[in-house]
Amino acid sequence: MKLMIINGPNLNLLGKREPEVYGNTTFEEYFAELKKKFPQVELEYFQSNIEGELIQKIQEVGFDYDGIILNAAAYTHTSVGIGDAIKAVTTPVIEVHISNTHQREEYRHVSYISPVAKGVILGFGLQSYDLAIQSFLS
Ligand code: DQA
């Protein structure tokens, strides 16, 4: 089982960024835990602050990998291009968010990813990623 986690803009600042919303753990620390927890999964991680690079990565892995776990961060609420990329590839995509975006500002209630994702997991903190991996295993 080969899974790719793709994180969008500002998620490189996890641990430092708004800790009351996103927690104190860096993604690198959490990713190391995930790898230990799921030794049977070939787990990779990519982060970019640039929309086109996220699209590029979706295209690159989207015909070979068993799953993509995507937190498009702010681009979730704006990117027709990322939505189109998900539609274009064959690998199923699970949309994840650390926070419960529906409890937050109204502009975060819209997602260009949800209509084309296999499923959506949000609001469980970093555990949202863990749950997404589990969904591919079950
Ligand atoms: C986020 C929620 C988005 O609204 C926000 O822009 C992010 C992170 C989350 O994981 O909770 O950067 O995707």
Q: Give the DSSP per-residue string, 75-116.
A: GGGT-HHHHHHHHHSSS-EEEEESS-GGGS-GGGS--SSGGG
Kindly report the protein residue whose alpha carbon is nearest to atom 8 of ligand 1: 73
Question: Residues 22, 30, 75, 112: which is the catalytic one?
Answer: 22
The predicted structure's pLDDT at residue 132? 98
Q: Please check whether residue 81 is in contact with residue 55, taking contact to mean a CB–CB distance below 8 angstroms.
A: yes
77 in active site: no
22 in active site: yes
**Topology of the domain comprising 2-137:** Rossmann fold (3.40.50)
The predicted structure's pLDDT at residue 115? 98
Q: Give the residue extent of every domain in the chain.
A: 2-137
Question: What distance in Å separates the CA atoms of residue 55 and residue 84, rounded to the nearest whole number?
Answer: 9
How many Å lie between the centroid of ligand 1 and the Cα of residue 108? 8
How many Å lie between the centroid of ligand 1 and the Cα of residue 74? 6
The predicted structure's pLDDT at residue 138? 84
Low-confidence ranges of the chain (pLDDT < 50): none
